[in-house]
Structure 1
Amino acid sequence: MAVAMDELKRMARQALGQWGLPDQQPELLKYRENAVFRVRLADGRHAALRLHRPGYHSEKSLRSELLWMNDLRRSGLHVPQPLPAVDGELLVAIAGREPQFADLIGWVAGRQIGETGKPLEHSPGELAVIYRALGGVMADMHNAADRWAPPAEFHRPAWDAEGLLGDGPLWGRFWDCGALSASDRRFLGDLRPRLRERLQAVATHLDFGLIHADLVRENVLLDGGSVALIDFDDCGYGWRLFDIATTLLRNRQEEHYTLIRSSLLEGYRSRRELEEATLAHLPLFLLLRGLTYIGWAGERPELPDAADRMARYVGDARELAAALGG
């Protein structure tokens, strides 16, 4: 979504008019899959305006994300609150060079657990508390998803065998990126069918349902003793181990990774069953999650650190594949 900043801000102001909030200068916070702006509501509270990347999700899928967030809030989870526009709609269309949608969600207080690529600054005791709490909230989210009966029009992508290893994975063809060396291309091309066979052998025995799919450090906020989950942009149907693997993957190099892992699992198991036989497949899901980052980076060669990212992600995949015995 390569759009000039002036055009982005124009579209943001246009969108805000549909919430009865004209004459603001929205503050751009993030510009990646979506353009996210901080804005101020009529009562003075902050909110986040999201301009969704054209073509990334359908209108039905975007509406479904907001519906699930609303249900999670009804179940007592700390997630952003979708705010209806003047006409009552949660998602609005805005005029631009191509069809685009916007929504407005309530501001969520708190600080991120940390940033990817930077060592965590928490003490071991704090890490145990944080990740135990996150594990419990993750389990609560999965429990709430299982209780919910989505409406007939609900649609979200699936992080299933096709979404991860099919011909058109959700985050890109990780084995077929232009930035890959010939050696890496062969390695990943050979790995893909073997992983598909492994996944098919266990898939029907594993817990499957709605997942967040991107519970990385930046998407978990701490506010006192509460844990909030944000950025449901990639939520969909998938194995619950995928959520656990996503949280753990970028922590593997942390000095206290063993503590982080055990605390997360302890918190999860305090709210939801997780058998050892299921957990035995976590190395497979760590690798599957690692491969998604290769596909993601391969479709974004314009990033200033694209080459470094690709080298790091492929190195992670080789390490995880060796640990799996693949």
Structure 2
Amino acid sequence: MLEIAQEAARLWGFDGARVRLAARRENVVFRVATGAGDFALRLHRPGYRSDDELASELDWMHVLAAGGLDVPDPVARPEGGYLATVGEHQVDVLSWVPGAPLGRAGELAGVGDRAVFCRRLGAVMARMHDISDAWERPAAFTRPAWDRDGLLGEAPLWGRFWEHPHLKPAERVLLERVRAAAGPVLARLEAGADYGLIHADLLSENMLRDGDRVFLIDFDDGGWGFRDFDLATFLLRFEDAPDYPELRRALCEGYAVRRQVRQDELDLFLLLRALTYPGWIADRLGEPGAAERSQRAVATATRSAWRWLETYGGTP
């Protein structure tokens, strides 16, 4: 991987730069140290996104950065264009973002007052959505859609969650039932929903804190979707926290600079977010730590399904 990254760095004119591994997740990220500063070079997971989808992601990130949002800004190659291919890997380069992650799931390391942070984060989400809505996108722009089909259809973006191989028979029945019940509810909301470009993966791991600034990173799964899905993605990991009611209220208050959030609709998207994770992990069961993550994903999805059905769909 290092040799591929070094070859890719030269395509951006970074001859002689120091290239070292920074992170290995869905993408493999290298830190490239040059006389002009540091950059993040990403080797994308083969086959996950098309060239057009990645080019669209990078165009969108540049617009967000130009609009004043704290996100990495794509760096064009000397001859133009944000994307290159080296071997089987699609490659791009971003400005290096300072700071450290806020932690793993359910953590907010170093933020001080958690409710104050969530209120501020809600306003940042609103700003991201506003900038995205104001952008006149190129005709070739294409990103995945977290719409009704992408969440509950026959081929959801992250897989058929109700067919996860670790589900017990009763759990599979439960997830099939909640899928059938939630579909018509989501269909009724679609006409008046706040729908547009969303990050779709705003977890603590994808936010870097540098002093008072918080940078949003990892737009790999960003695309079209319901704006409440962004709020739900962040909140889901905090549902077991003692201060969850305060964090939820603060996030929605911050987002209210854009619009008021209906609590029943947010509950629906918390359910839909929870349902995505068994589908996601099902394709990664051979990776280190997958067994524990799979157990957690199934437990969260089934708990969310019971709760939503009891509240909105009749007692299971």
Q: CA deviation at 1:219?
A: 1.2
Report the Cα offset of residue 246 of structure 1: 0.4
Q: CA RMSD in A?
A: 1.7
Report Cα offsets for 1:170-209 as digits up to 9, x if no partner: 1111111223333322222232222212211222221000
Is the CA contact 1:246–1:289 (under 8 Å) kept in the aligned structure 2? yes
Asked if 1:145 is matched to 2:132, the reply is yes
Looking at structure 1, the residues matched to 156 and 35 of structure 2 have their Cα atoms a distance apart, in angstroms, of 42
Counterpart in 2 of 1:54?
Answer: 46
Checking the alignment, whether the CA contact within 8 Å between 2:62 and 2:74 is kept in structure 1 is yes
Q: Which residue of 1 aligns with 2:258?
A: 272
* CA shift for structure 1 position 255: 2.0
Q: What is the deviation of 1:23?
A: 4.0
Partner amino acid, structure 1, of 2:32 = V
Looking at structure 1, the residues matched to 95 and 61 of structure 2 have their Cα atoms a distance apart, in angstroms, of 11
State which of 62, 79, 90 in structure 2 corresponds to 1:87: 79
Correspondence for 1:229 among 211, 216, 226: 216
Which stretches in structure 2 are left out of the alignment for 5+ residues? none
Q: Does 1:130 align with 2:117?
A: yes
With 83-92 and 178-187 compared, the bigger mean Cα shift is at 178-187
**2:99 alignment partner, one of 110, 126, 133:** 110
Can you list the C-alpha shifts for 1:69-89, whole angstroms capped at 9, x where unaligned? 111112111110101112122
User: Which residue of the partner structure matches residue 4 of structure 1?
Assistant: none
Matched, 1:304 2:288: yes
**Contact 1:27-1:37 at 8 Å conserved across structures:** yes
Tell me by how many angstroms 1:130 deviates: 1.3
Find the aligned partners of 2:108 and 2:126 in 1 and give their Cα distance: 23
Aligned to 1:75: 67
Partner SS state of residue 163, structure 1:
helix
Inter-CA distance 120–72: structure 2 relative to 1 (3 Å threshold):
closer
CA distance in 2, matches of 1:17, 1:31: 21
Asked if the contact 1:129/1:263 (under 8 Å) is kept, the reply is yes
Q: How far does the alpha carbon of each residue in 1:252-303 deviate from its partner, in whole angstroms, 9 at most, with x for none?
A: 112211221122111111x21124xx33211110011011111111110112
- Which residue of structure 2 lines up, in the alignment, with residue 36 of structure 1? 29
Matched letter for residue 111 of structure 1: A
Take 1:151 and 1:50, find their aligned partners in 2: how far apart are those partners?
24
Structure-to-structure mapping, 1:193-208, within 5 angstroms: 193-208=180-195
Residue 209 (structure 1) aligned with residue 200 (structure 2): no
Contact kept? 2:282, 2:294, Cα under 8 Å: yes
Question: Closer, same or farther in 2 for the Cα pair 1:229/1:40, shift >3 Å?
Answer: same
* Contact 2:18 2:33 survives alignment (8 Å): no
From 267, 270, 278, the equivalent of 1:283 is 267
TM-score (norm 2): 0.92
The yes-or-no answer on 1:66 pairing with 2:58 is yes
Q: Which runs of 4+ in 1 moved over 6 A?
A: none
> Distance in 1 between the 2:140 and 2:159 partners?
26
Distance in structure 2 (CA, Å) of the matches to 1:49 and 1:66: 13
Aligned residue identity for 1:228: F
SS at match of 1:101: strand
Q: 1:189 to 1:111 in 2, by over 3 A?
A: same
SS in 1 for 2:287: coil
- 1:9–1:281 CA distance, 2 compared to 1 (3 A): same
Q: Is the 8 A contact 2:83 2:92 kept in 1?
A: yes
- Note the alpha carbon deviations across 1:43-95, whole angstroms, 9 max, x for none: 2x221111111111110000000101111112111110101112122111112
Q: Which amino acid aligns with 2:240?
A: Q
Count of aligned pairs between the two proteins: 310
Asked if the contact 1:214–1:243 (Cα under 8 Å) also holds between the matched residues in 2, the reply is yes
CA deviations 1:144-167 (Å, max 9, x no partner) are 111111010110100001111112
Q: Distance in 2 between matches of 1:305 and 1:221?
A: 23
Instruction: Give the TM-score, by structure 1 length.
Output: 0.90
The equivalences for 1:168-183 within 5 A come to: 168-183=155-170
* 2:279 matches 1:295: yes
Most deviating of 180-189 and 203-212: 180-189
Query: Is the Cα contact below 8 Å between 2:40 and 2:96 reproduced in 1?
Result: yes
- The one of 152, 167, 189 equivalent to 2:154 is 167
- Asked if the contact 1:221–1:228 (Cα under 8 Å) also holds between the matched residues in 2, the reply is yes
Conserved in 2, the CA contact under 8 Å of 1:13 and 1:26? yes
Preserved CA contact (<8 Å) 1:133 1:227: no
Of 178, 185, 188, the residue aligned with 2:172 is: 185
